[in-house]
Amino acid sequence: MIIIAPRISFNYIHYFNKKNMKKHNFSAGPSILPRIALENSAKAILDLNGIGLSLLEISHRSKDFQAVLDETMGLFKELLNIPEGYQVIFLGGGASMQFCMIPYNFLNKKASYLETGVWAEKAIKEAKFFGEVNVVASSKDKNFNYIPKNYTVPADSDYFHITTNNTIYGSEIHSDLDSPVPLIADMSSDILSRPVDVSKYSMIYGGAQKNLGPAGVTFVIIKESLLSKVERKIPTMLNYATHLKEPSLYNTPPVFAIYTCMETLRWIKALGGVKAVQAMNIKKAELLYNAIDNSKMFVGTVAKEDRSLMNICFVMKEAYKDKEEAFMEFTKPRGMVGIKGHRSVGGFRASTYNALPIESVQALVDTMHDFEKLNA
């Protein structure tokens, strides 16, 4: 039985149909969002809930926006089953700002990091400004095409930082790790794609522009007991305590981005929650990975046990390397967008975020098969 969130008067389940589909959007981010979230956000720009004012012109301290903020936070907590003792806040600056804020607030002497890609490297770089950084393991030796295993996190670390999904390379940590020290995770690109045991983390954060909303807002789930761990003075805007004291409202928040997040969270709840979304994502990934594994022309780039459900990376086999540009051109009239791989990896990347319908994945698989028939 699907339970619709209170006050929802739109059809959040049948949000997608062929008439609305102009492109198959595989972009890595900003990325595809649920059609219903886009439509309702557009309506709110013109008139928010019939109040005669745009979402973009009301006070962020008005009761109308407070209702939006309260529902967004409430849905986030409900869908991720966030336990007591944690707060959810929405900030600006993207996940990249968190790379600085985390060590500023929590690194006393030493922090441990798992290096699994470019974004982990960037987080490590920022942390080194504040103290000793211990890289417990790295997959850089093989261009980040796997997740390191069998490493030890020193018990004297102030925290252990991981990046759960690597958008550029297509690898993912599929389970919630056990850590002897506070665990902090960048979940920018796989938040809400699978159930998470939040109690195993002291902090989860990420940019919204993959699975949650548009660019411009960053979500932070933080365990309150993690605060006040450092002796240094922290600038007001970089201090998590500031934003927890006045939840997301110390300064003007990104109101439009938060509203679209609310609409996306409503859509996820109407689908049946995160478990239902995970089942959809597994089907999409299996469809595309099976096509890659059974192809004469294409091959995956990531260790199979570490393959991402969100960013599926593949290249042409050596015998067909000269066909890559031809395949890119072949996809364009079929409405494929955003499948070019990152320059550091090459080849192709299909981002199969929550809102991407399985019809788009099937269209890509059909395109691959047709190209193979003509060229293999």
What distance in Å separates the CA atoms of residue 251 and residue 58, rounded to the nearest whole number?
A: 15
Is the sign of the CA dihedral 144, 149, 154, 155 positive or negative? positive
Nearest to 184 by CA among 210, 213, 153, 149: 153
Active site residues: 119, 186, 210
DSSP 109: S
| Number of residues in the chain | 376
Nearest to 331 by CA among 293, 358, 369: 369
What distance in Å separates the CA atoms of residue 362 and residue 68, rounded to the nearest whole number?
A: 36
At 252, the amino acid letter reads T
Is the sign of the CA dihedral 7, 205, 193, 85 positive or negative? negative
What distance in Å separates the CA atoms of residue 288 and residue 334, rounded to the nearest whole number?
A: 17
Determine what percent of the chain falls in helix, strand and coil, rounding each to the nearest 5: 40, 15, 45
